[in-house]
Amino acid sequence: MELINIEQAKITALGNYRFTHGNPFFLDLLSALATRYQFQYLPDRSPDPLGEAGAVHFRVGRWMDIQVDQLSVYNDGYIVSAKCNSRILDALIDDIHDFIESDFGILLAQQPPPVRLYESQVVIQMDGDIEKALNLFNELFKDMSDYSRTYLGVPGEYHFAGFHVSTDIVAHVAKKPPVFMLARRDGVDFSANYWWGNAGLRTDDHIAVLERLEKRLLA
């Protein structure tokens, strides 16, 4: 398996914060973040920092020579996204916490424990044709081809195009475990064996899951 592209990594970092120097002037905090991370597109306006849904969005910043696509600041944490390995975004969030603690006296509380939620999107090229291991779908492909001939006058040549793995969202209301999706890459001929993957995982964990899946399917 070859990694073709990291299309996106996103981290939602949630937690409670302690204001050891008192509540800082919110616009000073935003200005400091914009300067430190070289954001080129700043929020149009600042919401009430005490409001429940208050959020500000910075776009096109820089961290470790990587472009940060967006940083959203909420009352209870951050959402940050970029086209890079999620390790880089973890380091960015750690740096934000260190910075606001040293310059503004804002500490990340450890109770309740802070949480980080991950999303990874990658494009890979499989080393072999995994469809051969999924021959249980062959009769479905034939059924669809026959109906295509009935409806349109031409048979369709059907192939396995992807799947989605999830938990029962009703059974996991409080904490939803990560999902996993795999689909043919849009706009690329099936014969190229390009696949788009999306998972609620760190980038390295996502790639490891894909490698193990390919190994099992091609065994």
Mean pLDDT estimate for the chain: 91
CA 26 centroid distance within chain: 28
pLDDT digits (tens, 9 = 90+) for 40-71: 998 876 555 545 456 889 999 999 999 999 99
pLDDT digits (tens, 9 = 90+) for 101-152: 999 999 999 999 999 999 999 999 999 888 888 888 899 999 999 999 999 9
The per-residue DSSP string of 122-144 comes to: EEEE-SS-GGGGGGGGHHHHHHH
What residue ranges do the domains of the chain occupy?
Answer: 11-116, 121-218
Give pairs for 110-115: CB < 8 Å, separation 24+.
Answer: 111/16, 112/16, 114/13, 114/14, 114/15, 114/16, 114/77, 115/13, 115/14, 115/15
When pLDDT is cut at 50, 70 and 90, the band that residue 173 belongs to is: low
- Nearest-5° Cα angle at 86, 108 to 63: 75
Q: Report the C-alpha gap between 109 and 13 in whole angstroms.
A: 13
pLDDT number for residue 53:
59
Q: Report the C-alpha gap between 49 and 25 in whole angstroms.
A: 10
pLDDT number for residue 170:
78
pTM (2 d.p.): 0.89
Q: Report the C-alpha gap between 128 and 4 in whole angstroms.
A: 15
